[in-house]
């Protein structure tokens, strides 16, 4: 199942600030986009907001780090103990390391070489961009001026992002929306999305909108078992293969598997079992994509595959 995802600017910026979110979440997202599980939509307005506010957010983080201090005030009764000397040295070491850390962070921030920059740039490059057309801009300005959400403080940004999504996303496809911006909250319950916007989405897009305040909440609900490793993309594709419910879905997963050069024994067993048990694969066993994958992945590694699983495969494909 492919999910359409929108991530608001404030979520991207948390990775440069104090947050409980983890860059591993972004790496998971990159893997899920690469494997075709998620389509990330990026309005031009969101990209511009991110680029405008990146330095502001980093500067605030560095200022807070600079101003943080460990107390070196101890009552006189402590001075005769060895632990006091150890703690005084630790405090001095902390301050020296903080100076070095701030120098490195300043350098990397100015050169856009922070780890957060690397991962976010990789992610944003994979997003589906939505240009702010004159029509989108005029619609956003009009709705804001007549008092329709979202928007605040004479700023059209949220309205432009919302109209971009309304205009660009396909009808009959759900949207997974991640933001901490209060403009999208329900005024009755901050855990819920704005009721007016929910009704508008359902009316115009004939689908549902699923709301999360944090990226980690989205992953916890929909991808709780994904752990990042060098094998992550393979594991996701193999799961897609097992769960494919259409010929196109099966062929898409198989095509992605063919991009990899090697598989573990466990992976080969899972792939072979999927070919043998999923009707969306063995019903089109003579399809070009399916037959080539059978030869390249399964039959070329027949000596590594569990004999019972391979025997079932041979029966299914009349080998």
Chain centre distance of CA 185:
21
Query: Nearest Cα to 132, choosing from 44, 47, 51?
Result: 44
- Local confidence band at 239 (pLDDT 50, 70, 90 cut-offs): confident
Q: What is the pLDDT of residue 123?
A: 92
Most confident range (mean pLDDT) of 50-54, 150-154, 222-226 is 50-54
What does the pLDDT look like over 283-296, one tens digit per residue?
Answer: 999 999 999 999 99
What does the pLDDT look like over 171-212, one tens digit per residue?
Answer: 999 999 999 999 998 889 988 999 999 999 999 999 999 999
Locate 278 and state its tokens.
Answer: 């999923």
Domain positions in the chain: 3-61+120-222, 232-316
- Local confidence band at 233 (pLDDT 50, 70, 90 cut-offs): confident
- The contacts found for 221-224 with CB under 8 angstroms, 24 or more apart, are 222/3, 222/176, 223/28, 223/32
Residue 228 has pLDDT above 90, yes or no: no
| Rounded alpha-carbon distances, angstroms, from residue 192 to 5, 185, 245 | 17, 6, 32
Q: What is the pLDDT of residue 22?
A: 76
List the Cα angle 220/226/262 in 5-degree steps. 165
CA–CA distance, 239 with 252 (Å, rounded to integer)? 12
Q: 23 or 273: whose pLDDT is higher?
A: 273
Is pTM beyond 0.85? Reply is no
Locate 45 and state its tokens.
Answer: 């307005």
Are the C-beta atoms of residues 223 and 32 closer than 8 Å to each other?
yes
Q: 44 or 73: whose pLDDT is higher?
A: 44
Residue 134 has pLDDT above 60, yes or no: yes
List the Cα angle 135/140/141 in 5-degree steps. 100
Sign, CA dihedral 212-214-219-224, equals negative
CA–CA distance, 259 with 169 (Å, rounded to integer)? 29
Q: 287 or 23: whose pLDDT is higher?
A: 287
Averaged pLDDT, 53-80: 93
List the Cα angle 117/121/123 in 5-degree steps. 120
Most confident range (mean pLDDT) of 50-59, 109-118, 251-260 is 50-59
Q: What is the pLDDT of residue 229?
A: 59
CB neighbours of residue 269 within 10 Å: 17
Beta bridge partners of 39: 4
Are the C-beta atoms of residues 41 and 168 closer than 8 Å to each other?
yes
Are the C-beta atoms of residues 66 and 153 closer than 8 Å to each other?
no
Averaged pLDDT, 130-151: 96
- Protein fold of 3-61+120-222: Rossmann fold (3.40.50)
- Local confidence band at 20 (pLDDT 50, 70, 90 cut-offs): low
CA–CA distance, 242 with 270 (Å, rounded to integer)? 8
List the Cα angle 224/226/229 in 5-degree steps. 155
Q: What is the pLDDT of residue 51?
A: 96
State the alpha helices, DSSP H only, in 146-295.
157-168, 195-205, 215-222, 232-243, 247-257, 265-277, 279-282, 288-293
Query: What is the DSSP secondary-structure string of 273-312?
Result: HHHHH-HHHHTTTTSHHHHHHIIIIIGGGGGGS-HHHHHH
CA–CA distance, 74 with 283 (Å, rounded to integer)? 77
Report the largest interatomic distance among the alpha carbons of the chain, rounded to a whole angstrom.
87
Averaged pLDDT, 274-289: 93
- Local confidence band at 120 (pLDDT 50, 70, 90 cut-offs): very high
Sequence length of the chain is 319
């Amino acid at each position: 199942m492919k999910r359409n995802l929108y991530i608001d600017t404030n979520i991207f910026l948390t990775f440069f600030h104090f947050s409980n979110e983890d860059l591993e979440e972004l790496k998971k997202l990159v893997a899920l986009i690469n494997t075709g599980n998620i389509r990330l939509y990026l309005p031009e307005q969101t990209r511009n907001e991110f680029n405008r506010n990146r330095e502001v957010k980093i500067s605030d983080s560095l200022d807070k780090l600079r101003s943080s201090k460990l107390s070196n005030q101890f009552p006189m009764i402590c001075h005769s103990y060895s632990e006091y000397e150890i703690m005084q040295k630790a405090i001095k070491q902390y301050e020296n390391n903080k100076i070095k850390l701030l120098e490195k962070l300043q350098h990397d921030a100015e050169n856009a070489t922070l780890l957060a920059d690397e991962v976010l740039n990789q992610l944003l490059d994979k997003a589906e961009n939505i240009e702010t057309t004159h029509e989108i801009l005029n619609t956003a300005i009009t709705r804001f001026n007549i008092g329709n959400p979202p928007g605040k403080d004479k700023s059209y940004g949220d309205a432009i992002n919302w109209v971009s999504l309304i205009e660009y996303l396909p009808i009959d496809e759900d949207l997974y929306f991640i933001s901490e911006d209060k403009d999208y909250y329900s005024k009755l319950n901050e855990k819920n999305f704005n009721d007016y916007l929910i009704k508008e989405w359902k009316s115009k897009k004939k689908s549902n909108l699923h709301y999360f305040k944090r990226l980690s909440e989205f992953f916890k609900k929909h991808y709780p078992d994904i752990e990042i490793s060098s094998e992550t993309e393979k594991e996701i594709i193999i799961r897609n293969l097992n769960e494919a419910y259409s010929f196109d879905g099966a062929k898409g997963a198989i095509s992605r598997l063919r991009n990899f050069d090697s598989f573990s024994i466990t992976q080969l067993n899972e792939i072979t079992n999927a070919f043998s048990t999923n009707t969306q694969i063995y019903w089109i066993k003579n399809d070009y994509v399916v037959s080539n994958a059978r030869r390249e992945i399964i039959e070329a590694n027949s000596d590594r595959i569990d004999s019972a699983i391979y025997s079932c495969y041979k029966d299914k494909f009349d080998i």
